Amino acid sequence: MSTLCWIRRDLRLHDHKALSMTLSGGETSMVFIFDSHILDNLKDKNDPRVTFIYQSLVELEKELQKHGSSLFILYGNPEEEIPELAKKLKVKTVMWNRDYEPYAKKRDAQVMKNLKAQGIESQDFKDSVYFEKHEVLKNDGGIYKVFTPYKNKWLELFEASDRSVPEYKPLLKNLKQHTFKKNILEHNWYPEIGFQETLPVLSGGRKAGVKRLKKFAEQITDYDKTRDFPSLDGTSLLSVYLRHGVISVREMVTLAASHSSSGNRTWLNEIIWRDFYHMILDAFPRVEKEAFKTEYNQLSYPGGTREFKAWCEGQTGYPIVDAAMRQLNATGMMHNRLRMVVASFLCKILLVDWKKGEAYFAQKLLDYDLASNNGGWQWSSSSGCDAQPYFRIFNPYTQSKKFDHEGKFISEWIPELRHLKGNDLHHPSPLLAPSYPPPIVDYELNRKRALIMFEKLKKS
Ligand SMILES: Cc1cc2nc3c(=O)[nH]c(=O)nc-3n(C[C@H](O)[C@H](O)[C@H](O)COP(=O)(O)OP(=O)(O)OC[C@H]3O[C@@H](n4cnc5c(N)ncnc54)[C@H](O)[C@@H]3O)c2cc1C
């Protein structure tokens, strides 16, 4: 009897835990479901993330056809679709890689239940993170809520394994030989799923992901020196490939561990932050809906629609914030330094609830990932488990001068300011830039308002 491998956020045939397990057991078919629950919640039917997934599936189908196989594609509710397909194919077991998001956990538990009711086995595996929740624990067996000791333990475990990163090689010769009539090379799935092809700024597919990984390998040793400057090509831009599992987290850890430079170590640190946030979401699923520090749920942010709209549209009158938001709106990308700056600015200067910003990022980011996005917002708003202290408020002018010293990034995204230089670019006067909005709020005044708001909360 054969096995079915259900792929979701692991769109590759290489170094794939569930696929290597199914194939080692014998003949395997593969399926991908355009999950109607997820897709129906996406408001923009021109969402480039859907095209990124689509492109990745096209490439995967080409690879499968080289092996005489094909990917089943379905659109609908996985709780029903998976058991139905498993029954039709008469498989003994269905396997997949774990997803730690609350919706996915609930869905997968239901799929398991429905399969069991039909007498079909199921099994899931760790694949999308390096270490899972139960692997990196405090000495007393508890969950870490602070990053640095978590990281130290993570590294301790990694060293204890002699830094040997597992690689799961699927036995592709065991792929079931068949042709799927509605395969993605011959069938246009866009109308069926209700989306339009919209090319993302980074193309999907493993070839593009591997190319980027190789390119970054040439510059990783400088990562610690270049990573904070948005106008430099200093970061890997791999987050979207990792998000959809076009490349594996183990391939990234292998690269990070390939050299002992401070650039490599700093990059590994970022991958550990990702594991940390996935672990937090898995252990405390309530963070999807509320602040980790529950007292922060009482905050009533005074900032309103006017401030939020200006922030979303890149019209706040603070150049570094506006440039970053305009880049996000145009490309779905934003540099990590700027994510921190705009997030801090929204909740601590515009005094708008961070959850609104989190939801806006979720709508726009090409690399949107619930765990990392939620973790980033909870950190920036000081409401998270290991967050920035409430009194640390990024000064957008200082950040701008420090990390975009020559104003290259600002000039790229704000044409109204291109004629300015030096301090005028970072802090433009309305006289010099009449077509650019004046600051929507007074920075110093609102900074003080934020501190009063947070201090009141501390005392309550
Ligand atoms: C408010 C806010 C929201 C964020 N939302 C997301 C999101 O939705 N999806 C997402 O992948 N990242 C998110 N991040 C983290 C980070 O900004 C991005 O991972 C990074 O900018 C991606 O670019 P890169 O691939 O060039 O990263 P690199 O600098 O090359 O880092 C390598 C990898 O490490 C991981 N990583 C890096 N920084 C972080 C971090 N701070 N937290 C968790 N993982 C990290 C990513 O997977 C990244 O691809 C957010 C950060 C903040 C402050």
Please tell me whether residues 24 and 44 are part of one structural domain. yes
Range 376-379 contact pairs with CB under 8 angstroms and sequence separation of 24 or more: 376/277, 376/339, 376/340, 376/343, 377/343, 378/287, 378/291, 378/292, 378/354, 379/340
Compute the average pLDDT of residues 259-264. 96
The per-residue pLDDT for 201 is: 94
Do 351 and 392 belong together in one domain?
A: yes
User: What's the CATH number where 318 sits?
Assistant: 1.10.579.10
End-to-end CA distance of the chain: 63
What mean pLDDT is predicted for residues 407-419?
97
pLDDT above 90 (res 460): no
Does residue 111 sit in the same domain as residue 50?
Answer: yes
Give percent of the chain above pLDDT 70. Answer: 100
For residues 262 and 314, membership in a common domain is answered with: no
- Tell me, yes or no, whether 303 and 279 share the same domain: no
Q: Evaluate whether residue 236 is within a structural domain.
A: yes
Domain assignment present for 170: no
**Residue 189 within a domain:** no
**Residues with Cβ < 8 Å from 238, sequence gap 6 or more?**
209, 212, 213, 216, 247, 252
Q: What's the pLDDT score for residue 380? A: 97
- pLDDT tens profile 342-389: 999 999 999 999 999 999 999 999 999 999 999 999 999 999 999 999
Question: Span 81-90, mean pLDDT?
Answer: 97
Do both 142 and 98 map to the same domain?
A: no
Q: 187-214 pLDDT, tens per residue?
A: 999 999 999 999 999 999 999 999 999 9
Number of domains forming the structure of the chain: 3
Same domain, residue pair 100 and 134: no
pLDDT at residue 459, as a whole number: 84
Same domain, 233 and 308: no
For residue 184, tell me if it sits in a domain. no
Last residue of a domain, one of 223, 251, 283: 283
Q: If pLDDT is split at 50, 70 and 90, which confidence band does 6 have? A: very high
Query: What is the rounded distance in angstroms from the CA atom of residue 451 to the CA atom of residue 449?
Result: 5
Question: Could you tell me if residue 196 is inside a domain?
Answer: no
Residues 376 and 299 in one domain: yes
Domain extent, residue 213, equals 129-164+206-283
User: In this structure, are 30 and 133 located in the same domain?
Assistant: no
Q: Is residue 200 part of a domain?
A: no
Q: Where a domain ends, among 283, 312, 346? A: 283
pLDDT tens profile 122-181: 999 999 999 999 999 999 999 999 999 999 999 999 999 999 999 999 999 999 999 999
Contacts within 8 Å (CB) and 24+ apart, 285-292: 285/102, 285/105, 287/374, 287/378, 287/384, 288/101, 288/102, 288/370, 288/374, 291/378, 291/381, 291/383, 291/384, 292/145, 292/378, 292/383, 292/384, 292/385, 292/387
Domain presence at residue 385 = yes
Query: Over the chain, what is the mean pLDDT?
Result: 97
* Integer Cα distance of 225 and 218 in angstroms: 14
Atom of ligand 1 at shortest range from CA of 357: 1
Q: Provide residues with CB under 6 Å of ligand 1.
A: 227, 235-239, 242-243, 267, 270-271, 273-274, 277, 336, 339-340, 343, 361, 365, 367-369, 372-373, 375-377, 380
| Ligand 1: centre distance to CA 248 (Å) | 15
What CATH number is attached to the domain comprising 239? 1.25.40.80
- CA separation for the pair 108, 270 (Å, rounded): 28
Q: Ligand 1, closest atom to CA 236?
A: 30
Last-in-domain residue among 263, 283, 303: 283
In a domain, 173, yes or no: no
Q: Assign residue 69 the CATH number of its domain.
A: 3.40.50.620
* 23 and 93 belong to one structural domain: yes
Domain identity same for 304 and 453: yes
